Structure 1
Amino acid sequence: MSRALLIVDIQNDFTEHGALAVAGGDAVASAVSAFLEAHAAEYDVIVASRDWHDAQGDNGGHFAESPDFVDTWPSHCVAGSDGAEYDPLLVTDAVTHHVRKGQGEPAYSMFEGTTEDGKTVAGILAGAGVVSADVVGIATDHCVRASALDAIAHGVQVRVLTDLIAGVAAEPSAAALAELAHAGAVLAQSGAA
């Protein structure tokens, strides 16, 4: 039985100066780095995801000139751009697997992505015998929510470390956390990790 840390989309376009800036994104990047420095050895697998959208086209309707910020969004995290890179405050040395998602299509969950050699998150976790995972990252009300729900659906016991996440807006973020708790996730502070 092993344990994983899932780090969701701590990227330049989702932190303070990005195309889809989330307030507190830089603070999450710094806090996750400090957490990794203290706790990385406690995890058998550490997976970090990034949106990695195609430069051409609308990525399956994900990008729009007049986005509704529900199902359509401004251009963000374009593959190879600075916006798609990890926030520089996030130290990724301990990450064992890097996952890219959303290539040509909408993708919120890290489980929709693959590593450069084609591995899926579900395959990585199953191969390592992961039974529990802590989830951190951006954004609580979108990609953190989707990734944690998919982990639960794959039979993983999930803890969301609530001091290591940031959401787009307070109300949908609170609703996402309530949904996750109802689905079986434990909401905890990183000090309890």
Structure 2
Amino acid sequence: MSRALLIVDVQNDFTEGGALAVEGGDAVAAAVTLFLAAHADDYDVIIASRDWHDADGDNGGHFALAPDYVDSWPVHCVAGTEGAEYDPLLATDAVTHHVRKGQGKPAYSMFEGRTEAGETVGAILTAAGALTADVVGIATDHCVRATALDAIAHGVRVRIFTDLVAGVASAPSEAALAELVHAGAEVAESPDA
């Protein structure tokens, strides 16, 4: 039985000082790095995702001058910009696959993205025989939620490490975690917490 670690959108635009900064984002980046230093060998596959939106256009309505912060957002994570890069506190040397999502369209789940070679997360997990996945990253109430739900739909047993995620706001983050538990995920602190 193979295990996967899914690291969701730990990027400059989602950490402190970014276009859509999430409070605690830098702390998550640093904590995930410490976790990887101790546990990378526990995983057969480590996949990290990044929003990677087109510089031109509104990315299928995802970017808006007057965003509703539900379906539309300010400009963020534009391909090739500093905001789209991984937070510098996140060490990515143990990552086996890098996925980009959201080119020209809204995308929340890393399952909507592809590697540079065109691989999907679902195909990577299937090829590795991954039956379990731990999920960490940003933001609990948006992309972490969507990724975990898609992993469950893919037939993977999911665990979210609550000390390795950060959400936009506490109420929707708590609701997202409750929804994930209802869908079959386990919510726990990481082994070293």
The correspondence of residues 99-118 of structure 1 with structure 2, limited to 5 A, is 99-118=99-118
Q: Aligned residue for 1:65?
A: 65
Give the TM-score normalised by structure 2.
0.99
Superposition deviation, residue 41 in structure 1: 0.2
2: CA distance, partners of 1:43 / 1:188: 17
Q: Give SS of 1:142's match.
A: helix
Alignment-derived partner of residue 123 in structure 1: 123
Which amino acid in structure 1 is aligned with residue 103 of structure 2?
Q
Q: CA–CA distance in 1 between the matches of 2:54 and 2:181?
A: 34
Deviations 1:96-125 (A, max 9, x none): 000000000000000000000000000000
Partner of 2:77: 77
The secondary structure found in structure 2 opposite 1:191 is coil
RMSD: 0.8
Q: Deviations over 1:69-91 (max 9, x none)?
A: 11100000000000000000000
CA distance in 2, matches of 1:36, 1:87: 15
Shift of 1:191: 1.7
Counterpart Cα distance in 2 of 1:156 and 1:68: 32
**1:192 positional shift:** 6.6
Identity in percent: 77
Give, in whole Å, the separation in 2 of the partners of 1:107 and 1:88.
23
Match of 2:165 in 1: 165
1:128 is displaced (CA, Å) by 0.3
Alignment partners' CA distance in 1, 2:104 and 2:135: 25
Unpaired runs of at least 5, structure 1: none
Match of 1:56 in 2: 56
Counterpart CA distance in 2 for 1:74 and 1:49 is: 20
Moved >3 Å (runs of 4+): none
CA offsets per residue over residues 49-69 of structure 1, 9 Å max, x none?
000000000000000000011
Residue 42 in structure 1 maps to residue 48 in structure 2: no
Match of 2:20 in 1: 20
* Corresponding residue number in structure 2 for 1:89: 89
Letter in structure 1 aligned against 2:26: D
Q: TM-score, normalised by structure 1?
A: 0.99
Q: In structure 2, how many angstroms separate the alpha carbons of the residues matched to 1:38 and 1:58?
A: 41
Match of residue 10 from structure 1: 10
